[in-house]
């Protein structure tokens, strides 16, 4: 599933089948090459759902246990949020120092959150090659 296809998807609590908010973005930990939380836009506030609190990331909605599954990020997730840690729109540099273009989209496994590919104007790079994300660029391994 692509980030672009998932943003805007409803986040629904399974306890009362009520809409809690909408997917606004993703928090990725490049060290484990996986989505560790989903950013949720609720009326008047923005919060996150840690990946462990997601029951199902489906084609129509993201199912969580209830409203209490959505909250403020813990310290580890908070450290990975913000513009410096986003992937979309960032330059891609290889560990050899070559530029690969920019990240146009990210493909991830909706079951595990694993990053499967970075998609850009120069093609795609397998998610297992993701090394790091910084303020300036996304770094991928060329070996």
Which residue do the tokens 């070996």 mark?
143
- Residue 5: name the closest of 76, 66, 79, 62 by CA: 62
- Whose CA is closest to 89, among 44, 45, 137? 137
64 vs 21: CA distance, rounded Å:
11
Choices 3.40.50.150, 3.40.30.10, 2.30.30.240, 3.40.50.970: CATH for 3-82: 2.30.30.240
**Which tens digits make up the pLDDT trace of 32-64?**
999 999 999 987 676 899 999 999 999 999 999
Q: Which CATH architecture has domain 84-140?
A: Roll (2.30)
The model's pTM is 0.92
Q: Do domains 3-82 and 84-140 have the same CATH topology?
A: yes
Give the model's pLDDT for residue 83: 80
Residues 64 and 127: their CA atoms lie apart, in Å, by: 26
Q: Which residue is it, tokens 């146009």?
A: 104
Query: What residues in the chain have per-residue pLDDT under 50?
Result: none
Q: Where are the domains of the chain?
A: 3-82, 84-140
- Residue 3 gets which letter from DSSP? H
Enter the tokens of residue 86. Answer: 């986003």
What is the pLDDT at residue 44? Answer: 65
Query: How far from 46 is each of 2, 5, 121, 127, CA to CA, in Å?
Result: 21, 20, 31, 27
Any idea what the Cα angle at residue 23 is, between residues 89 and 47, rounded to 5°?
Answer: 100
């Amino acid at each position: 599933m692509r980030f672009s296809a998932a943003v805007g998807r409803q986040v629904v609590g399974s306890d009362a089948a009520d809409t809690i908010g909408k997917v606004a973005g993703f928090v990725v930990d490049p060290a484990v090459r996986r989505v560790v939380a989903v950013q949720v836009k609720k009326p008047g506030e923005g919060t996150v759902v840690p990946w462990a609190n997601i029951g199902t990331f489906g084609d129509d909605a993201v199912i969580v246990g209830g409203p209490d599954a959505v909250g403020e990020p813990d310290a580890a997730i908070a450290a990975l949020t913000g513009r410096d840690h986003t992937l979309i729109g960032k330059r891609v540099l290889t560990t050899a120092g070559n530029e690969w273009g920019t990240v146009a989209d990210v493909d991830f496994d909706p079951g595990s959150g694993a990053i499967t590919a970075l998609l850009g104007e120069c093609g795609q790079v397998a998610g297992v090659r993701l090394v790091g994300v910084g303020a300036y660029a996304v770094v991928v391994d060329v070996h």
